[in-house]
Homo-oligomer: A and B are copies of this chain.
């Protein structure tokens, strides 16, 4: 059987991005130290899992004091590889592509959106948003991806075009793809994909809502 995506192994990385958000929030609120118990209570997390995760990555809190907030933030950023800048390209300059291009904090820190691609002649040649992201024709994708040293590709095109765009990104050397199209994409083993499936999120919400109705 052919392999498509590795969604379950995303679980640990998902937790790390969640912890990062929690710690950044605590830092903004002035916390310098936080215990796994406080962290668990505050963000509805499992304190055993927190301790397990952090010890696995070689990070440990001080007994009676907890985790050093600054230290953990740096550590998680290091583990997630966020201490460098990634060039990101968005394929698709429709509603979704545009929403992503101006999504707050999407184009700062470790990530820089360097190009958008579309097949609509009225969009090609223009720039989008306050950061003036250039919109190229999707035919130029392989060439521009190499020229602009794109590290990650975001697929925000209709489902029917998703595989073709994925192939073009992969051929141009991109090793990470985020797929917003509701279509399976097949990539070589040395390329990582993250599936952003809105429908799956709605289904999770249905799960919660239906269980609330049963029990409350």
A109: nearest chain-B partner, CB-CB: B199
With known contacts A3-B44, A42-B1, A106-B198, A190–B216 Cβ distance under 8 A: yes
A86 and B206 contacting across the interface, CB-CB below 8 Å: yes
Interface core residue of A84, A106, A199 (most chain B CB under 10 Å): A199
- Let me know if A213 is at the binding interface, CB within 8 A: yes
Q: What is the copy number of this chain in the assembly?
A: 2
- Let me know if A124 is at the binding interface, CB within 8 A: no
Would you give the 0/1 interface string for A163-185, flagging 1 where the beta carbon is closer than 8 Å to chain B? 00000000000011110001010
In whole angstroms, how far apart are the Cα atoms of A99 and B38 in the complex? Answer: 38
Total number of A residues with any Cβ neighbor in B under 8 Å: 79
A100: nearest chain-B partner, CB-CB: B198
Contacts of A49 in B (CB 8 A): 8
A207 and B81 contacting across the interface, CB-CB below 8 Å: yes
Interface residues of A in 71-90 (CB under 8 A from B): 79-82, 84, 86, 88
- Let me know if A52 is at the binding interface, CB within 8 A: no
- Let me know if A121 is at the binding interface, CB within 8 A: no
For the complex of A and B, the 5 pairs showing the least CB-CB separation, nearest first, are: A81-B210, A192-B208, A96-B99, A95-B99, A1-B42
